[in-house]
A and B are shown apart, each in its own frame.
Chain A
């Protein structure tokens, strides 16, 4: 996708809009982001659960 935009640097509006319409392509390009935020979510759950267990142990 990046390559194709590089090949047509001076074409305006029409290709840009067309590119954004084919959302399937842009959508699939964020899988790294999704993996990264899931790791972040996992970290939050682990730390929270850890302190919750500490809380239960001291109850």
Chain B
């Protein structure tokens, strides 16, 4: 099949561009640990999840030197807890699930943007370098008062 010389050069350029994008993303994901959330399978029963560890006591738990685990339940139309307070520089490992429908969990101004799916537990980590009152909102349509679903993270 005949292809124009300049089209070949264009495809070399375009495919190299895409390959470089993938290389950057792949290196960050697999060599530097900047993965999308989720990592591994971790199932729970959404109907009994609030009776068992760790979701029987949602909230913040210190696990190391300025490192915390935040266990969070999403439900219509809110989160438990609905407010957490942290010192500046705290690293937080989020553990998130839903007791009913699918929800979102987006900490505005950060890369923490993940789905709360009933039956699965989602994980991600974030270090809060800046003080402030962070808005967390549900960005996956979940019902009539979806726009009310929010919580706050206070970093001092």
Contact = CB atoms under 8 A, between A and B. Distances in A.
A and B in contact, CB less than 8 Å? yes
Interface of A: 26-27, 30-31, 33-34, 37-38, 41, 44-45, 48, 52, 55, 58-59
Contact of A41 (B6, B13, B34): B13
Nearest to A54: B111
A45 B17 contact: yes
Given A58-B109, A58-B111, A59-B111, A27 B4 contact: yes
Interface in B1-52: 4-7, 9-10, 13-14, 17, 21, 24, 34
Contacts of A52: 24
Contacts of B34: 59
A41 B14 contact: yes
Interface of B: 4-7, 9-10, 13-14, 17, 21, 24, 34, 109-111
Nearest to B24: A52
Dominant secondary structure of chain A at its interface with chain B: helix
B13 A38 contact: yes
Contacts of B110: 58
A34 B10 contact: yes
15 contacts: A27-B4, A27-B5, A30-B6, A34-B10, A38-B10, A41-B10, A41-B13, A41-B14, A41-B17, A44-B17, A45-B17, A58-B109, A58-B110, A59-B34, A59-B111
Contact of A27 (B6, B17, B24, B111): B6
Contacts of B6: 27, 30-31, 33-34
A58 B110 CA distance: 5
Nearest to B25: A52
A23 B14 CA distance: 24
